[in-house]
Amino acid sequence: MNTLRTAMLLAAMTALFMGVGFLIGGTGGMMIALLIAAGTNLFSYWNADKMVLSMNRAVEVDEKNAPEYYAIVQSLAKQAGLPMPKTYLIDNPQPNAFATGRNPQNAAVAASTGLLQALTPEEVAAVMAHELAHVQHRDTLTMTIVATFAGAISMLGNFAFFFSGNRDNNPFGFVGVLAAMIVAPFAAMVVQMAVSRTREYEADRRGAEICGHPLWLASALDKIARGAERIRNPDAERNPATAHLFIINPLHGERMDSLFSTHPATENRIAALQAMARDMAGSETRAAPRQAPTPRQADELRPSGPWDQTARPEQPAEPAKPKSNPWGRNPTGPRGRWS
């Protein structure tokens, strides 16, 4: 079903693109727009992930220079049945993360240093599970292509001004030019934002299933949203077309939960996750209405992934070791803070 919806969406964007071409230059303009649309699709398919990572100055890491972060992604990918994606860090104080890539075999996930510093390991696991859900649903490819189409349609709308004087090629005259300049780019923006919002809810749900704890993600979303309000992201501000890829909108001034916001309101997403947690708890109670577990039994039921750093009661807790950064082990690396 998701593949069918993606195909329908891309067909609609291509038709909209061709419609703008027809408004500008008639049949000839429509055919040129079709060729541009095909080229846009191909370019986005092969190069969009590299472009997004470069725009945000993301650097690839591995188990040597970011062992805990890498281990979390590795464990979650295995849990989700996905190939291990390339793992990137963004040297940026704003807590945020995104995923990109044309398919699960060529996917990449990226988290900011601000995210790793502000969140607990459990919350980081929930965030990365959300991003892996986007990879599993193939949202990364779809949203990148939609963003590229929206930008191209807006570009055609700007070009329409230069064709306004050629009435032979423009069958609708000034009305067609006006539609190309205003209505078509606006329609592309609405489609882009509406699709992004829908897929965020789906990724929240699937991400909570992957990590097994909806409230981890709910807590993470609250912290990320508050951090994004206080801390600006200059790279995202320079490239606003990529804002919808992040788990929380990195741009300032996006607060309304309406069709014109790239992300649903954080409060609504948290409420949905809390409802999911209650449903999961109710299902467990109905399935096993036994007495509450003892403290030792409860401890044995805790998750055993790399984000579970709580010492067992029967084991003495090791003294905390000082670290100069939360996830990397080489504070003298080229980037200092996390390498």
CA triple 280-131-151, angle to 5 deg: 130
Question: Known binder of ligand: residue 130?
Answer: yes
- Provide the phi-psi class of 272: left if phi over 0, else alpha when psi is between -120 and 50, else beta: alpha
Question: Known binder of ligand: residue 252?
Answer: no
The domain segmentation of the chain, as residue ranges, is 2-274
Query: Per the confidence metrics, is the pTM higher than 0.85?
Result: no
pLDDT, average across residues 258-267: 72
pLDDT, average across residues 290-297: 47
CA 6 to the chain's CA centroid: 16
What are the φ/ψ torsions at residue 101 (nearest 5 degrees)? 125, 150
Per-residue pLDDT reduced to its tens digit, 311-321: 434 444 454 44
Question: Known binder of ligand: residue 134?
Answer: yes
Residue 333 pLDDT:
39
Per-residue pLDDT reduced to its tens digit, 210-235: 999 999 999 999 999 999 999 999 99
| Token pair belonging to 110 | 């990226």
Of 81 and 187, the one with more pLDDT? 81
Q: Is the pLDDT of residue 255 over 50?
A: no
Categorize the per-residue pLDDT at 287 as very low, low, confident or very high, splitting at 50, 70 and 90. low
* Other C-beta atoms lying within 10 Å of the C-beta of residue 60: 13
Considering only CA atoms, which of 234, 216, 220 is closest in space to residue 277?
Answer: 216
Q: Tokens 């206080």 appear where? A: 230
Per-residue pLDDT reduced to its tens digit, 156-192: 666 655 555 444 555 555 555 666 666 666 666 666 6
Q: Where are the alpha helices (DSSP H) in the chain?
A: 2-55, 67-80, 113-118, 121-136, 139-163, 173-178, 184-211, 214-230, 234-238, 266-287, 295-300
Dist. CA 182–CA 274, nearest whole Å: 40
Strand bridging mode 58-61 / 97-101: unpaired
pLDDT, average across residues 137-147: 76
Catalytic positions: 131
